A and B are shown apart, each in its own frame.
Chain A
Amino acid sequence: MFDGMSRRVVSLWFPRLASDRVLRQYPIDGPFALTLKQNNANRIYCLNTEAIAQGLQQGMPYSDARAFCPDLKSAEAQPQYDLKFLQTLRRWATRYCPWVGLEGENGLVLDVTGSTHLYGGEEVMLSDMRSRLMRAGLSVQIGLADTRGAAWALAHYGEGVAASGNALPAIKSLPVAALRIDEKMSISLQRLGLRTIGDLAKAARAPLTRRFGPKLLLRLDQALDRQPEEISPQADAPHYAVRMTLPEPIGLLPDVMAGTERLLIQLCAKLKSQEMGARKLCVTLRRVDQDHQQVELRLARPLRNPQRILPLFERGLSEMDAGYGIDMLRLEATEVESLPVQQVSHVSDGGKDKLDDLISRLGTRIGLENIQRFLPADSHIPERSFIVASAAYSDPARTWAVINKRPISLFPPEPIAATGPRPPQRFRWRRMFLTTGRAIGPERIAPEWWLEDENWRSGLRDYWRVETRQGRRLWLFYTPQNPGWFVQGEFA
């Protein structure tokens, strides 16, 4: 390593991360377990120390655990929140060094090279970590070594610190499973009599590689610093929120708008640097009486232009009740989408921008999902040959295949009294007496049997274009399998 300073790596293992997280929020005395549904059976996911003392094990069926330990309290595991919690811990761990990565689902790895002296040495730093984590209610096992592999081994199988320069004495008595190999391999090694890392290090290398592949010795070499292994620090996810605290409470709409504008300019600069655009924005106004009010804005298109977003907020903000005044504004982009930088074109696209702004503005009034557009769909059933999609979340389609003449308006089939496979000469529809002047057809449309559709239970339909002497041109159909006549649409 550089300047003769050897690399030092800390591995933190939280053996009961999931249950510790839940018990931090809802402290419980006595045995406690988290269960997770796996393969249709509720199994134990994570236990606390009391439950382990009762002899329960991870992975056993929950019903068995209840039988062994009748006073077991349990809750459902939520692995996604555990991961989030681990991310929080990762961010906390950057107080010790900037290089912190995740190690599996319940561990962290820190490259503390050159930062231990800031805490007064390695031992002091480790005890500081331990005491802080214990105070937070987390059980932790810590290993420190020159390599990631050795630190991992120490954290998981007997805590400790490996001396700088040579990790072997510290880890040689640990079982081979401490080398991060799978269970099958470790059992095979134990059958060969290679029980500890020390045994393995002494064994001949060539037969081992032949038998177990290169992975085993790679893990050993990584632990003993004969092979490099990197630690990938994770970057914080970009956070799109800005806030402003005011020395004097404000209440007038122009003031609130001015504050929002300042926040918008900041936020948009941040969005621009990440090449993102906001899809959903939320302004939180904190009043002097600690009450919160929120204005949400959903945009028809990702945007990061403060001048265009600000007027869209006006309607929502004008409806707020300022009470005794507002002393804090917070603006957050709750939903962002990537918006790459685009070359400015000399062809004006102002009309489209105006339309998008109109859709956003109408969206605040009637809901963005109620503003829709037609998209073609691949079906020959008249009412399914197009779909109605939200305009904000779809692109217009220019390819419409019109094969047969179709009515300009459609409605649910309305029965009329008629018999026979030919269109009736006279019929009554919507209280009008109509006579057929000309009928064109039939065009047979079969139901799509692969889709269940209540309206097509009557089977095949023979469609007719009927021009009535009274003027209206209707779309009639006859169902031969279940005789009946219906009107479904009107032609242009």
Chain B
Amino acid sequence: MQPTDQIPFPLAKTRTHEVCGAGSHVFAFALAARLGQHVMWLRESWDQQQINPIGFAEFIEPADLTLCKTEHQLETLAAAEEALRSGAVALVVMTLSKPIGLTEGRRLQLAAREGKSTGLTIIPEGHGSNAAETRWRCTPVFDADTTAADSTLQRWELIKNKSGTLGVWHVRWNVASRRLVMVPPSRE
């Protein structure tokens, strides 16, 4: 464990955050599990990659997730803003394919503050917006000497933080207790 350098998770509420990398979905669902309430998941309709309810059932109940299909990114942002502002959902996750400007990012922040909800954008690497509160890079790590095949090792890297320090953590999702377990990184 890292007593001095605690992981800032769950993320600061009433803010929007960003995540990139192959482990983004795990990050998003782990956050949804921590926040506990309803999740709104927005994606563009052309996106072939689909989240699988049987796969994420080990994080949250599939009934607690509402899916939104939008036509293009502008619609995603508008719908996300509406959902954040309403305060009806605890977490709004959106997949973005193009970088967003400062104005759009700022609007999302304001909406999250007004609705007291959390926003999370899944972005391609290097497409971050300056308005985001934190930015994470999540990558799965191959764990050679594990015997527990059901839990997965992830490397979560905090690469941007407006109100704190950066850091790297190795975490594992424990399916039975539905919580994150921190793993010392020295094993690398």
Contacts and interface: CB of A to CB of B under 8 A. Distances in A.
A490 B50 CA distance: 10
A contact residues, range: 35 or more
Interface stretch (A143-151, A161-169, A223-231, A393-401): A393-401
B182 interface: no
A492 to B, nearest CB: 5
Interface string A356-371: 0111011001100011
A357 B115 CA distance: 14
B65 A373 contact: yes
A376 B57 CA distance: 11
A133 B83 CA distance: 58
Contact of B37 (A351, A440, A490): A351
A411 B48 contact: yes
Given A351-B38, A396-B63, A408 B26 contact: yes
Nearest to A395: B63
A15 B29 CA distance: 68
A471 B52 contact: no
Contacts of A382: 52, 54
A366 B49 contact: no
A386 B140 CA distance: 26
Contact of B25 (A376, A405, A409, A412): A409
Nearest to A468: B142
A103 B111 CA distance: 62
Contact of A405 (B49, B88, B150): B150
B88 A366 contact: no
A252 interface: no
Interface string B65-88: 111111100010011001100111
Contact of A366 (B48, B68, B173): B68
Contacts of B86: 354, 357-358, 361
Contacts of A491: 55, 152
Interface string B95-119: 0000000000000000000000000
A489 interface: yes
Interface residues of B, number: 50
A456 to B, nearest CB: 17
Contacts of B149: 440
A173 to B, nearest CB: 72
Interface string A460-473: 00000001111111
A359 B59 CA distance: 23
A410 interface: yes
Contact of A406 (B38, B54, B79, B83): B54
Nearest to B150: A405
Nearest to A399: B63
A408 B6 CA distance: 27
Contacts of A471: 22, 139-142, 155
Interface string B118-132: 000000000000000
A402 interface: yes
Given A371-B67, A396-B63, A406-B52, A467 B142 contact: yes
A355 interface: yes
A364 to B, nearest CB: 10
Contact of B63 (A398, A469, A470): A398
B71 to A, nearest CB: 7
Contacts of A372: 66-69
B8 to A, nearest CB: 21
Contact of B58 (A354, A391, A492): A492
Given A358-B89, A365-B75, A471-B140, A370 B29 contact: no
Contact of A370 (B68, B144, B173): B68
A437 B59 CA distance: 25
Given A410-B49, A471-B139, A362 B25 contact: no
A385 interface: yes
B4 interface: no
Given A409-B51, A471-B22, A402 B139 contact: no
Interface of A: 351, 354-355, 357-359, 361-362, 365-366, 370-374, 376, 382, 385-386, 388, 391, 396-398, 400, 402, 405-412, 437, 440, 467-473, 489-492
23 contacts: A354-B88, A365-B75, A366-B68, A371-B68, A373-B67, A374-B67, A385-B54, A386-B54, A402-B54, A406-B54, A408-B26, A408-B52, A408-B56, A409-B51, A437-B144, A467-B142, A468-B142, A469-B142, A471-B155, A490-B22, A490-B25, A492-B26, A492-B173
Interface of B: 22, 25-26, 29, 37-38, 40, 45, 48-59, 61-71, 75, 78-79, 82-83, 86-89, 139-142, 144, 149-150, 152, 155, 173
